[in-house]
Structures are given as C-alpha cells and as structure tokens.
Amino acid sequence: MNLAPFHLAIPVNDLPANRHFYTDILELEEGRSSDHWVDYNFFGHQLVIHLDESHKGPVTANHVDGKSVPVPHYGIVLEWTDFDNFAKRIADKGIEFIIEPYLRFEGQVGEQKTMFFKDPSGNALEFKSFKDMSQLFAK
C-alpha cells in the first residue's frame, strides 16, 4: 500500500513549550511557522501545532486492557525494530508516560507494542508498532 501523507492540525496552549517538545524531545524537523503556528515533518506527515491559549487537552478516556486510554489521541505506527529505541529516547528525556510501553496480543493476530504520553498542552500521543505490519487492520 502506498500511503499519502496526512495533514493534522492540533491546538496547543503554549507555543514555545510545545515547539521545544516537538523539536527537541520528539526531534521532528520544523517547517514553516509564524507566531501562531508551526509545521512539522511528523514521520513523513504534516503536523501543525496552532496556538489556542484556552486549550486544555483531552478530558475523557476509554478503558482498554485495564488502562485508561485518553480520547482523543494521535500518533504514528513505527517499525517494530524502532519502537523500543524510540521509547527509551522519550523516557531518557524525562517524558512521563500515561501508559508505559507494553506488548499487546502477544502471539496473536495483531501483536503490537504501544505507549502513550502527552505534549505540554495535554494532547495525547500514541506510538505503536506491529510485529507483522500486514496485520495493521486485521480483525
């Protein structure tokens, strides 16, 4: 499958703090920007953070695997071999996980690793990885 890049624009309540997070913590390449928004190369997709000083982040969660998964959330599916290195890099930079990296569906269809954390504005991010990427949409 040849995927086209998606575009996602999210609100942030503190542009400098979030610019630091996305640039220095996640190590994303910054594109165009203004005093109210910043474009990022989000693993080949376009992520834009837009200033909204009233933004408070997600306030609800769904229970999955006995964990509280924040809604809404966004993220990317990493290569299986990249997931653990990325998780370690995030942890080493002092980011607190909402849901620590863990393995789901071990030995089953859809076996995957996942983790959740928030940006400084409370936006929830999920990074995951599938042992077999062809099972991304498996039932």
CATH architecture under which domain 60-135 falls: Roll (3.10)
- Mean of the pLDDT values across residues 26-47? 97
Which segment of 30-34, 91-95, 134-138 scores lowest on mean pLDDT? 134-138
pLDDT tens sequence across 82-115: 999 999 999 999 999 999 999 999 999 999 999 9
Whether the per-residue pLDDT at 59 is higher than 80: the answer is no
Range 7-51 has CATH code 3.40.50.720 = no
Q: Looking at beta carbons, which pairs linking 87-93 to residues 24 or more positions away fall under 8 Å?
A: 87/113, 87/115, 87/127, 89/27, 90/25, 90/26, 90/115, 90/117, 93/25
pLDDT for res 1: 61
What's the pTM? 0.92
Q: Give 62-75 pLDDT, tens digit per residue.
A: 888 888 888 999 99
- Check for a shared fold between 7-51 and 60-135: no
Q: Where are the domains of the chain?
A: 7-51, 60-135
DSSP 9-37: EEEES-HHHHHHIIIIIS-PEEEEE-SSE
